[in-house]
Structure 1
Amino acid sequence: MLARFTFRVASLSLKFALTIIVARTLGFAAVAVYGLAVAASVVSSKLLGLGFSTEINRRLSAESPSQAIQDARRLLVLYCAVYVAIAIVLIVVCIAGGFDAFPPITRGVFFGVMLVAFSEHAGLETTSYVFSLHQPRAGAVLLFIRTGAWAGVAILSLLAGLVHSIEAVFALWWGANIIATVAAYRCIQCRGHQSGFEQRAQAPRVPGSTRSVWMDGLPFFIATTALSGLQYGERFLASDVISTDTLGRYVFAWSVANSVQTIAYATIVVTAAPRLVRSLSAINGDFPATLHRAVRSSVAITSLAAVFILITHKLIFYTAHEPGGGRELTMLFILLVSFVLRSITDVYWVGAVALRLGKQVAVATVCVAALAVPVEWMLITRLEAIGAALSHLTASVAIMAILVFIIRHNRVASVAALLERKTSHAS
């Protein structure tokens, strides 16, 4: 875990430094564009999963992943076909003048975001496959390439005067994602050889295996889409209410606070997810104990990170030429609390995936999202940037509460059913 923690802290430091350098060299308007691009790429990368991601990762985490590896390779081909189809449609729309009604969004920015979205999804999928195959060290390195190394290159390029626009920063971003994707695919191939994939590939494939991945993963796909909207939705609502400069300052504070969640995700959640699945498939697995350990570790890491950020907030804001007054501190504190709760939510989320509670999670998440939108709009219109932070916190409290309730309500019955299934299968 120490290596993953070190990589993640380095990545966050580089991305934080990149935000500062972008603010100082390209202005806070560029930070706002960068923040919207991050939100759009994350939401798009979830949508591009087409409902397969959660279930294929669960199956790859099992003790015998050979069939899942075959399905994963077929899914990667499908994803590439989807990228090409979407790109063709967007190019045709662009040639036909379909973007003339959006003058603030240049074509360079739009297609830069599109390439980032495609590459982010490809990198996200393949890197998660590596973690699910219980290769945390390789996954940590690939995650660092995607989230930290490219930011370091972008920083040096901006300071050296080699990069003069946010579009060029996007180019470095999607280029790093492609490198990580190719390397991750190589890791998957090697794991396939180790599990006897090449020999089993000659045998008839399991009929409908890919379809079953989609059917089992579809509820979580719906829930993930709604959850991504709750993670980033307030900044899109705020973009119509507050100025670009104010939005850029909010995005900056959001990026600082988000580091506590990303640290917990990279050090705890990415390994807790496959362990929770294995704890249910292994004979001597202990799901409740594994879940509780992950929750405790997540709370400890995020709390320490949040305290450190609060202690050093003046230096953080000063380096970005950002005012560090009471209003900015209040906004940062609210967002830190929100992201601590989101880190706990991430653990319960992967617990729900392991227990295959997709339908309950999907219904609950969609209901929370539907109720959260009017509340967020009211808070933002009345309190502007502080309201955006409060709306983020409100959504965090709601989604964490509902996931904790679902897990606790279904855990005993689900674990008992799985144990009965193991016993009958063994006999």
Structure 2
Amino acid sequence: MDMQLLIRLALRILALALKFALTIVLARSLGFAAVAGYGLALAVSVVSSKILGLGFSTEINRRLSLSDPTDAIREVGRLLLLYCVVYGAIAAVVAMLHGSSEFARIRPTILWGVVLVAFSEHAGLETTSYVFSLHRPRAGAMLLFVRTGAWAGVAIIGLLVHAVRSVEVIFMLWWTTNVITAITACWLIWRRSIEVGLVDADQSPRNLRGGRSVWIDGMPFFVATIMLSGLQYAERFIASGVMAADALGRYVFSWSISNAIQTIAYATIAVTAGPRLIRVLSVADGDFWRTLRSSVRSSACITIIAAAAILIVHKSIFRIAHEPAGGAEFMTLLTLLASFVLRSIADIYWCAAVALRLGMRVAIAVSVVASVSIPLEWLLVTRLGVVGAALAHLMASTVIVILLIVLVMRAHTVTVVGIENRSSLHVS
């Protein structure tokens, strides 16, 4: 591993540790009502970060990763303005619905804190991804750490010294950090625009339609992302209807621990693998397959090592949470760890599919997988309980990674053959 990769790995592990510690300190300092509010904001922010992309995110990041990102940088400004308009529209709707029964049980300060966290999380995620796509991994890694971990460290200190006395202050720290991160990322993008000579460049008419083409090219991946997110949680939703709350809570606990390995691999490998794969396709002498194999090996290596470490200390982790650590719990954890190892590999092949512009094929294939997987997952969960839920997750992960590998291999083979045929015709 190179030094930059190790730094990204260390920052991601530290960020996860700080977020985990914040939950514990928050519970002890402000009680579980505050934890419930924090959990609501966390869930809303995860969903909004995907939905508020509106289908633009994947394609604009692909274009920013090209060897010449000039047109894409121009589109970023328009896209960020569009997002701000959407935030304003949603805020207006929330304000109008504020007095309705759906929001009656939520305190106004909690409600608006969650809304601001959701908007700022999306803005921070989008702009940080732009920095990574512009091949600035060191700056991107620092921004990612600040918005996912550093603010939690400040919140923990505030709670311990009693400077933070409400969950609303936690929200304020959270969204303020995201805003600062987004502004910093925009400054870095502006600096890059100066490097490519865009600031004083003439705005040619041909670029005015760029936003529409970004949306059209990115929408299939947006649809596929929503469906994959659903498959990530499908067995949990099924289990919530057939399992006791206590059993479901134990499953979610094991799921959360296991998911950490995919999160680490994504922030360490996938965020830079995507831009690299796109760039090697945009240059004549790029080696796509070597870059892809290297990224897959790195992601698999990191997740397997992390999974092994979790298995070694899992009894201590379960003991801290006052959870049993018997054979069924170990089997559930082992199955979920294997599933998330596969998910981390799927993340790399997803990046390859984006680089190869396979959006429509991926969307169709994922929809077929979802239609077949959900009935099978229901059968596993209802017959085998918690272990069945873990097996359902593993089954979905296995099908997804196989699907992406097949699509990427077939598409790149066709691309290479086409290039070779054109080259031979040119020579003759």
Q: Could you tell me the TM-score, scaled by structure 2's length?
A: 0.89
Contact 2:57 2:126 in 1 (8 A): yes
Name the amino acid aligned to 1:259. Answer: A
Aligned to 1:5: 9
Deviation, structure 1 residue 73: 1.1
Moved more, 219-228 or 385-394: 385-394
Moved more, 275-284 or 251-260: 251-260
| Superposed counterparts of 1:11-410, under 5 Å | 11-22=15-26, 24=28, 34=38, 37-100=41-104, 109-163=110-164, 168-204=169-205, 206-242=207-243, 246-410=247-411
Q: Number of paired residues? A: 422
Separation in 2 of the partners of 1:423 and 1:175? Answer: 57
Name the amino acid aligned to 2:144. Answer: L
The one of the two structures with greater contact order (alpha-carbon pairs below 8 A, sep at least 6) is 1
Question: SS at the partner of 1:229?
Answer: helix
Question: SS at the partner of 1:289?
Answer: helix
Contact 1:238 1:388 in 2 (8 A): yes
Question: SS at the partner of 1:184?
Answer: helix
Deviation, structure 1 residue 182: 1.2
Separation in 1 of the partners of 2:27 and 2:333? Answer: 18
Separation in 1 of the partners of 2:144 and 2:421? Answer: 38
Separation in 1 of the partners of 2:286 and 2:367? Answer: 32
Name the amino acid aligned to 2:178. Answer: N
Moved more, 153-162 or 112-121: 153-162
Deviation, structure 1 residue 393: 1.9
Moved more, 262-271 or 138-147: 262-271
Structure 1 spans left out of the alignment, 5+ residues: none
TM-aligned CA distance change 1:213 to 1:238, over 3 Å:
same
TM-aligned CA distance change 1:163 to 1:248, over 3 Å:
farther
* 1:98-121 deviation per Cα after TM superposition (whole angstroms, max 9, x unaligned): 435xx5x66555544333222221
* 1:253-282 deviation per Cα after TM superposition (whole angstroms, max 9, x unaligned): 222211211111111111111110111111
* 1:205-236 deviation per Cα after TM superposition (whole angstroms, max 9, x unaligned): 52311111111111111111111112233334
Name the amino acid aligned to 2:222. Answer: F
Moved more, 407-416 or 355-364: 407-416
TM-aligned CA distance change 1:307 to 1:136, over 3 Å:
same
Deviation, structure 1 residue 28: 6.9
TM-aligned CA distance change 1:229 to 1:308, over 3 Å:
same
Name the amino acid aligned to 2:373. Answer: A
Deviation, structure 1 residue 348: 0.2
Question: SS at the partner of 1:284?
Answer: coil
Contact 1:31 1:248 in 2 (8 A): no
Deviation, structure 1 residue 316: 2.1
Percent same amino acid among aligned pairs?
57
Question: SS at the partner of 1:62?
Answer: coil
Question: SS at the partner of 1:322?
Answer: coil
Deviation, structure 1 residue 318: 2.9
